[in-house]
Amino acid sequence: MNNKYFNWGVIGTGGIAKAFTADIRQLTNHRVSAVLSRSIQTAESFSSHDPYCNGFVSMDVFLKESNVDAVYVATPNTFHCIQTIEALNAKIPVLCEKPFSMDSKEADLMVKTSETNGVALLEGMWTRYLPHISKIRKLISEGTIGDIESVSACHGQNLRKSTNPRLWTKELGGGALLDLGIYVVSFAHMILGRPKDILARSVFTDQGVDAKTSIIFKYDNGAIATLSCSMYDTQPNRAIISGSKGYIDIEPTFYAPTSFKVCTNDNEIISYPNDYNGHGLREQAMELEKCIKNNLTESEKMPHTESLSVMESMDKVRALVGLTF
């Protein structure tokens, strides 16, 4: 590790890779110093905004010569597993964009590779690392809203006019569930854990991926999570956690830096404004750096067991609705 900078290698040059790189610039000790793309022109265009960034088109050369401290995998879903494993086998820590993998079998391979090599692996479910989520988890653990009875969360965007192939094609792991639904599924897992029973229904596109999916998680203690995702309509993109003493209302967009309020059964309302500056993707970058410095292969905020559990629930939803890849 460079004494002055934590150097990132980015695999992929799409929108999320650009957002990550832009947010990283707010950190004085992090920088993107290498990018891997299928095209040298695209790699050079991406790296032109960062003077110390070099472009690569070969995965082998990228892993051997980039001298990065960690890799951010920001490619379409079907590439996450193989690229993560290649980097881990090269002894390079990995931050892998959500969804962690295509299914739980891939997730298990990724986790085992991390543990076998003793190299840090973090799922890029960036919501888990945001300040407002840390505050909410603390309030829940302190019993502010009592025992959790229900969770509702939705994530819908009207993407009908988008021509981005990663959204619509099976070959790239497209569809609402993997791209948007992962946020609501992971959120429910964070608050209530692994569900006992799952109900789900989907509407499919002509290409065979889900355009929208609705899910219900049922738990042993009687709690219920009601979740939805859609690429056909804009939804409120908010989340509500209801307990025996009140509820927490997380304003849009719930999975990004935002404000929220606690409403108690005594009609007391406590507001928590959003004072965060930036996108928020840098939080997961700092979390991986922390894991590496502490010789940890996983983060307590998103441990490997949690990534596996979330993907197992995603597998069950897919089986229920008939979504195959």
> Which CATH fold would you assign to the domain 6-125?
Rossmann fold (3.40.50)
Amino acid at 177: L
φ/ψ (deg, to 5) at 251: -75, 160
* Domain range 131-279, CATH class: alpha beta
Q: Specify the pLDDT at position 49.
A: 85
Residue 292 Cα distances to 32, 34, 95, 145, 233, angstroms? 17, 19, 12, 35, 40
Is a pLDDT exceeding 70 seen at residue 1?
A: no
Instruction: Say what the pTM is.
Output: 0.97
Question: How is the chain split into domains, by residue range?
Answer: 6-125, 131-279
Integer Cα distance of 124 and 129 in angstroms: 9
Q: What percent of the chain is modeled with pLDDT above 70?
A: 99
Residue 92 Cα distances to 13, 72, 192, 208, angstroms? 19, 10, 33, 36
Query: DSSP readout, 184-224?
Result: HHHHHHHHH-S-SEEEEEEEE-TTSSEEEEEEEEE-TTS-E
Report residue 234 as tokens: 């804009």
6-125 and 131-279 in the same fold: no
Q: Specify the pLDDT at position 118.
A: 98
Q: Specify the pLDDT at position 2.
A: 57
- pLDDT tens sequence across 34-56: 999 999 999 999 999 888 999 99
CB within 8 Å of 305: residues ≥ 6 apart = none
